[in-house]
Every structure is written in C-alpha cells, then in structure tokens.
Structure 1
C-alpha cells in the first residue's frame, strides 16, 4: 500500500479541495504527504521583469506569495487531520515535469493530483492538459481526484473550498499564536508581542468581521430555510461567533499588559491564547463535521450559487493586496514561526 504521497497544488481556490481530499486519502492509508507547489517564473513576464528591476524586495515577496500561502494552508490542514507532512516548492514553467521530479526527489510512491477541468477565470496550472501530460510521463502511479467545473456540485465544491481555505488561514494564525507563546515559555524569553498583536488583528478584521457574518447570512440562513433539523446547532455556532469576538478582545488586553511589562501578563497571554484557540478549533470542527455536510445535503444549486458568489467576492487579507489591511508580509512570518 502507498506510504508517501506527492500532492501537487496550485494557487486556485479549488486547490484547497485537493488538500482536503488528499489528507482524507492519506489518513485512510496511514500515509504521509509531501505537498508540492510549482510556480511559474515571474521574472519571465514583462510585469515581473520590470518589478525585479525596480524593487527586488517587492519582487521576492510577490514571487513567494503563492508558495507560502498554498503550502501554509496545506500543512495546517494536514496537522488538523493528523497526517504527517512536509512541503516543497519550485519555480518552473513545466509543472508536469516538476511534479514528477519532486516525487522522485522525496521518494514518494504515489502522485496525487486534481484535474480542475476548464474553469474560466482560474489562473492555476492543474488543468486537464497538465494532468494528461503527467499521466504520459509519470513512472509512478497517479491518483487523479476529479474536481470538475460543470457537474451539479460545482458551486458547492467551489464555495466550500473557499470556506475551508479560510478556515485553514484562521487555523494557521492560531497555531502561530500558540507556537510563539509556547516558545517564550520554554525558552524563558519575551515572545514577539508585535507579531502576536498582528495575528490577533487579523482574527478581528477577517473572520470576526467578514468570514463569520457571511457564514451566518448565507450558509446558516439557507440551511435554516431548507430544514429545521440543525437549528439548535446553528444557534450555538452563532453564539460562539459572539464569544470569539470577546476572546479576541481579551487577547488584545493581555498583549497590551505584556507590552507594559505587567508582572503576571505572560500568564494572562497564555490563558487568552489557549481559550481563544480552543474555542475556535471546536467551532470550526462543528462546522466542518456537521453543518457543511448538512448543507451539502439540503441546499439547492441556486443556494450554492449564492454562497459561492458571496465568498468569492472577497479575498483573505492574509494572502492578498488589501490596502486597508497590509497583511501580505504576515503570512511569511507565520510560516517561519511554524517551522
């Protein structure tokens, strides 16, 4: 049986569906995963070449953005799923060959890819032609998880892939908070309070003010319209959304005390991080194991179209160019903290 999967990822929203499928697949096999991302050469484009000439630091950040974003979310999903994983990335304009070489480099025994089909507007390279090319040149078994653009579950798949991706971003930030706090306690050093404050600000700005309200306005509301079976659970999840806001405020208060040098502030930060992390992990687990499967069963194709339209209308600021919330460098610092 297969023991080490090479999972090829691109930076489209459907890439998160690939992560979800591959983690479940690996867990069933008792296998480990190497997530691999091959990015095109930005310097080979006119815009990239100009950026490289004008601002090499910005060029590096722009080049690294997809790799860090994709792999950070994938590694977080594997950690949540209890699957051992590592990550690798390469700049290449020949993705099929790069995937195969990565599998050989890491001694993988199965290639796991998803074929997105012809999905208008997606910039990823894991479309059907790359999958076909990989099947032609591979000297290893290839498992193709089909994520088609034209089946009746297309909008459901795309919508839940976005929501799951946002959950992985939230989970990565929480894990980063825990790692920074734990490192300070183990080493007896002062944690990076400024970075922890940035992470807390992300949790306040994105999930609390955008992600959660859209869950309630679309997924929760539509599920209530289709069935009353889960109303009690939905009431509890909405209560938890309010509680998370309170816990985020408590974390900010503890971090402010730490910055002022209060004697017991370190213990207060640890307690605030643990309470917030525990609450959010439990909350996301209930959504992903109970509510989202129920939504798949009960929501109509028209419902899913509305959900997808709502969630695709915004971008996760952790991985975007949002001028209102300059978070583009934060994800790299989180990735470093999690290493």
Structure 2
C-alpha cells in the first residue's frame, strides 16, 4: 500500500482539515509524510495590514513575508505529525502552485500518494483518483481527495476557532515584521506600538482560550472519548507556558519609564514565542480538531456553535 504521502499545507479551513486526515491516515498505514507549503492559499486569507510597498524593497519584504508564512505552515503541520508519531520531512515552498507542480513534487520526492483538500485543484470527490506527471520522469501518482465534514454546525464552529488562530498568527507576524525591520535598519522598534501589539496578542490568546472554555469544548471531547486526553492535557499545560512567554515579551518591550531590551534579544524571544505558538496551534488543528470531528455528536456541535455565537455577541456588546 501507500508508504510516502505528499501533503500540500495551507491556511484555509479545507487544507487544515485535509492535513489532519492525511496525518491520521499515515499513522494508520505506518506511512511517512512530506509536507509542501502552498503559499497562495494562505496569502488569499491575509488582511492587508499595510499599503503595498513598491520596488526592490517591496519585493524583498514580500519574499521575507512568504518565507515566514511558509515556516509557520510547516511548523504547524510538523507539530501535528510529531504528536501523532508520524515520520515526516518538509520541503521549501515553490512559486508554482498548480496541481501539475504538486504532482511533479510528488514524483521528485518519490511519494506514492498525494493528499489534498476537495475543491482546491480537482473537482470535489471523496475518492482516489490517478494523476499523471508529464515530461521527464513521468509517473502515475495516486491522489486522495480528503473527505470534508459538511455538517453546518461543525463547519461554523471550527471556522470560528480557525479564525482565532489566524488572528493570533497575524499579530505575531506584525511583531516579527516590526522587530526585524528595525533590526535591519539598526534602530529600536517604536516602543508604544510594540507594547500595544503585545497587549493585543495577549488579549487574542485570552479570548481564544475563553471561547473554548465558555463552550466547554475540551470538556465535551473528554466526555465523549479518552483518545485525545493526553493531547488536551498537554495543550492546557501549554497555556501556562504561553502566559509566561508573553510576560517575558512584555518585559523586553519595556514600559513607559523603561527602555526596551536590546533588539537582538527581543528578536530572539519573539522567534521563540512564534515557534511555540505555531506548534501549539498545529497540535490543536492536527490532533484535537480531527478527534472532535470524529467523536463529538451533532448536538454537541450545535451547542458549541451557539456558545461561540453568544460569546462573540458579548464581545461585540463590550466594544460599544
């Protein structure tokens, strides 16, 4: 049977779900995975934080952003594979995002199965099809189009969770961009902006945790199955570590009457926090959400979605 999967990873909901399916399938088959980041999928979901920068400087910045986003995607997928005990490797993102380029990558890395999300490159289907790579080294490669969970309440609830993940990721990338740009220019980042961004990041992380707590998301999963208990225990322990790392970042950024830490030290601490967060989000997306899709009942998902809506309404009312 299949022994080596090629799995394109992106940051849209269907890609995240397909990655979870692929990792679980590889675990059951005793197969290994090669992850391939697909950046155009992720870029399509990004908010425009700043105006486009023109010229060579803009091109260099865009290339840097692309590398950072690729590293994020890979860190999240790799963390999920490690948690499931699945051997993996990763390859650099390519400028090519066509299905033919993915098949070519599978041939290059000697994969015998490509796992993709429905609707990304082929017509939707929950079956195995065969694609052919043309040209030198052409070979048949099996393609698994991973089934998508189409239950409305499930999709709605998971979309809310993943939107929270994306908001946290965007805040971290904003910090990384500011610190690295300042470092490259030989200056300190603007302290007030840094403090505000760290506070915003802390608020987002707190909101993400409270959202799940209010809906009893982890508790409901524990009540339905013990299969994810160890992972849930680890993720809950990591919440404490997240708070510690944020406290350290806040101290390095400095207060009104205190200077910030040296830029190199701040950049290192932020990189550590980013890697920690990517891995945390990846384990939740690649281990907990697949288990929740499998074991939570329709009534559970309906209650969770309703609780998420109520929490969102409370947040909106608090802003007024």
Range into which the TM-score falls when normalised by the shorter chain: 0.5 to 0.7
Counterparts of 2:38 and 2:295, CA distance in 1: 35
Change (3 A) 1:20 1:224: closer
Contact 1:23/1:77, CA 8 A, preserved across alignment: no
1:8 aligns with 2:8: yes
Change (3 A) 1:255 1:217: same
Change (3 A) 1:266 1:234: same
Instruction: Identify the match of residue 85 of structure 1 among 75, 87, 90.
Output: 90
Contact 2:10/2:39, CA 8 A, preserved across alignment: yes
Contact 1:3/1:29, CA 8 A, preserved across alignment: yes
Q: CA deviation at 1:16?
A: 0.7
Matched residue count: 281
**1:48 aligns to what?**
none
Q: Which has the higher contact order (CA 8 A, sep 6+)?
A: 2
Q: CA deviation at 1:15?
A: 0.6
Instruction: Identify the match of residue 116 of structure 1 among 115, 118, 121.
Output: 118
Instruction: Identify the match of residue 124 of structure 2 among 116, 128, 133.
Output: 128
Counterparts of 2:77 and 2:19, CA distance in 1: 8
Change (3 A) 1:157 1:241: same
**2:20 aligns to what?**
20
Counterparts of 1:204 and 1:9, CA distance in 2: 27
Contact 1:135/1:142, CA 8 A, preserved across alignment: yes
Q: CA deviation at 1:24?
A: 5.2
**2:205 aligns to what?**
207
Q: Which secondary structure state, in structure 1, belongs to the residue aligned with residue 254 of structure 2?
A: helix
Q: Which secondary structure state, in structure 1, belongs to the residue aligned with residue 140 of structure 2?
A: coil
Counterparts of 2:167 and 2:243, CA distance in 1: 17
The superposition leaves residues 164-183 of structure 1 with CA deviations (integer Å, 9 ceiling, x where unpaired) of 685588589879989x99xx
TM normalised by structure 1 equals: 0.52
The superposition leaves residues 112-165 of structure 1 with CA deviations (integer Å, 9 ceiling, x where unpaired) of 223436xxxxxx445427988x73435332241522344x6x754775577468
**1:299 aligns to what?**
296
Counterparts of 2:117 and 2:225, CA distance in 1: 36
Q: CA deviation at 1:13?
A: 0.5
**1:75 aligns to what?**
74
**1:97 aligns to what?**
100
The superposition leaves residues 48-99 of structure 1 with CA deviations (integer Å, 9 ceiling, x where unpaired) of xxxxxxx8649x99x99x977974543112342353212324466xx43343
Q: Which secondary structure state, in structure 2, belongs to the residue aligned with residue 128 of structure 1?
A: coil
TM normalised by structure 2 equals: 0.54
Q: Which secondary structure state, in structure 2, belongs to the residue aligned with residue 214 of structure 1?
A: helix
Counterparts of 2:52 and 2:25, CA distance in 1: 40
Counterparts of 1:110 and 1:202, CA distance in 2: 44
Counterparts of 1:126 and 1:312, CA distance in 2: 33
Q: CA deviation at 1:8?
A: 3.2
Change (3 A) 1:87 1:286: closer
Q: Which secondary structure state, in structure 2, belongs to the residue aligned with residue 116 of structure 1?
A: coil
**1:317 aligns to what?**
none
Contact 2:76/2:281, CA 8 A, preserved across alignment: no
**2:217 aligns to what?**
220
Equivalent residues in 2 for 1:1-339 (5 A)? Answer: 5-9=5-9, 12-23=12-23, 28-36=30-38, 57=53, 71-80=70-79, 81-82=81-82, 83-90=88-95, 95-104=98-107, 106-116=108-118, 124-128=120-124, 135-138=130-133, 139-150=139-150, 156=154, 159-160=157-158, 163=161, 200-201=198-199, 203-209=201-207, 211-220=208-217, 223=220, 244-245=242-243, 248-256=246-254, 260-261=258-259, 295=292, 299-307=296-304
Change (3 A) 1:148 1:266: closer
Counterparts of 1:282 and 1:37, CA distance in 2: 18
Change (3 A) 1:112 1:283: closer
The superposition leaves residues 199-226 of structure 1 with CA deviations (integer Å, 9 ceiling, x where unpaired) of 73553242223x2221112243861895
